[in-house]
């Protein structure tokens, strides 16, 4: 089982001064001396707690398949709630935290942020527990997709609006939770170039849709930037040798002009410059020929993103 405490931001209470009697389980009344387990400490008997081998040996594969589907649905619901909470957190930063000027408004704003953080960590623990149970009996759900591990860095959201001039955004990737379970059939909130309109009543859902559409637009802009850089590099591989060749030809013209005027010194200098630029042109052609000869890469999603 995973470590679910990594999502918990609440400090543990120091119970080092507690007496042993407070933690000792009650004993049986028949005098056997055996401790009676607490009901809340007993695990629920489910296929995931018994293991896949037990299910196969006892013919309970169908029961394990049903639980696997339920666990996957539970994990999907937790990710959806995390996205809602992160979107609401981003809105709180914009509408309450940053406009706050007094100590009173700042305290209230940050209390709202802490409440949202508690919700995020709670659903993160639920997802991790559901994922562990799902992976135990995943073989029973053959068509079920894999559930990625959830790390604390996946629960961070950028609350600042970054401009195109901001450096360090070239290879920035969003967390996988923003694309988890999102298809045209499941949810079209970030498809069709974000041209869909929604009349949502729930404010949290509206914020989540907005955040997902912003992430989609950012990914689309990043993809278009990659295509533009690919075209630019391919063109520059042709421009550089052409520029060197043009400079060599200009010095060739000057050398011919100096020869007509019987200016030996000018002719020698022009010849030196002409040979230098020609050598640069030949070296550039040799070094950049693999780029010029290779075709431009095309992607399957290009027709969707650029349509």
Closest to 275 measured CA to CA, from 250, 248, 243, 242: 248
pLDDT tens by residue, 280-304: 999 999 999 888 888 877 776 666 5
pLDDT at 278 over 60: yes
Residues in the chain: 307
Share of the chain above pLDDT 90, in %: 21
CB atoms within 10 A of CB 150: 25
- 230 to 21, 59, 294, 297: CA distances (angstroms): 71, 56, 11, 8
**Percent of the chain at pLDDT above 70?**
67
Is 188's pLDDT higher than 60? no
123-156 pLDDT, tens digit per residue, is 999 999 999 989 888 888 877 788 889 888 888 8
Q: Where are the domains of the chain?
A: 43-165+202-214, 226-305
Closest-CA residue to 67 (of 136, 147, 149): 136
pLDDT in tens, 76-112: 899 888 888 888 888 888 888 888 899 999 999 899 9
| 118, containing H or E segment | helix 103-136
What angle, rounded to 10 degrees, do the helices at 103-136 and 61-92 form? 160
pTM of the prediction? Answer: 0.52
Half-sphere exposure of 35 (CA within 13 A, CB side): 9
Beta carbons within 8 Å of 232's beta carbon, 6+ residues apart: none
Task: Tell me which of 274 and 163 has the higher pLDDT.
Answer: 274
| Per-residue pLDDT, 272 | 93
pLDDT of residue 61: 85
Higher pLDDT, 169 or 130: 130
Average pLDDT of every residue of the chain: 75
Backbone angles phi, psi at 27, to 5 degrees: -90, 160
The pLDDT of residue 276 is above 90: yes
Residue 33 confidence (pLDDT) = 56
- Say if CB 97 and CB 110 are below 8 A apart: yes
pLDDT of residue 270: 92
Confidence of residue 59 (pLDDT cuts 50, 70, 90): confident
In the prediction, which pLDDT does 247 show?
Answer: 93
């Amino acid at each position: 089982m995973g470590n679910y405490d990594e999502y918990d931001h609440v400090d543990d209470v120091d119970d080092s001064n507690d007496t042993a009697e407070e933690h000792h389980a009650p004993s049986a009344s028949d005098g056997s001396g055996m401790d009676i387990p607490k009901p809340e400490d007993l695990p629920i008997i489910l296929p995931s707690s018994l293991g896949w081998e037990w299910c196969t040996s006892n013919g309970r594969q169908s029961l394990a398949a049903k639980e696997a589907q339920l666990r996957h649905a539970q994990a999907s619901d937790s990710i959806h709630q995390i996205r809602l909470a992160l979107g609401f957190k981003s809105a709180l930063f914009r509408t309450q935290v940053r406009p706050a000027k007094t100590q009173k408004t700042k305290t209230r704003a940050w209390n709202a942020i802490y409440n949202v953080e508690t919700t995020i960590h709670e659903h993160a623990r639920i997802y991790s527990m559901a994922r562990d149970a799902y992976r135990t009996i995943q073989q029973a759900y053959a068509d079920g997709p894999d559930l990625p591990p959830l790390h604390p860095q996946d629960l961070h959201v950028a609350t600042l609006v970054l401009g195109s001039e901001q450096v360090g955004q070239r290879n920035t990737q969003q967390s996988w939770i923003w694309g988890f379970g999102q298809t045209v059939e499941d949810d079209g909130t970030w498809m069709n170039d974000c041209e869909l309109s929604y009349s949502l009543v729930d404010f949290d859902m509206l914020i989540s849709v907005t955040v997902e559409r912003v992430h989609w637009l950012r990914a689309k802009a990043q993809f278009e930037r990659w295509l533009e850089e690919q075209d630019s590099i391919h063109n520059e591989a042709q421009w550089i040798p052409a520029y060197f060749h043009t400079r060599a030809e200009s010095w060739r013209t000057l050398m011919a002009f100096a020869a007509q005027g019987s200016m030996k010194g000018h002719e020698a200098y022009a010849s030196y410059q002409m040979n230098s630029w020609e050598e640069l042109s030949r070296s550039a052609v040799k070094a950049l020929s693999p780029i010029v000869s290779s075709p431009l890469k095309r992607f399957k999603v290009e027709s969707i993103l650029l349509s």
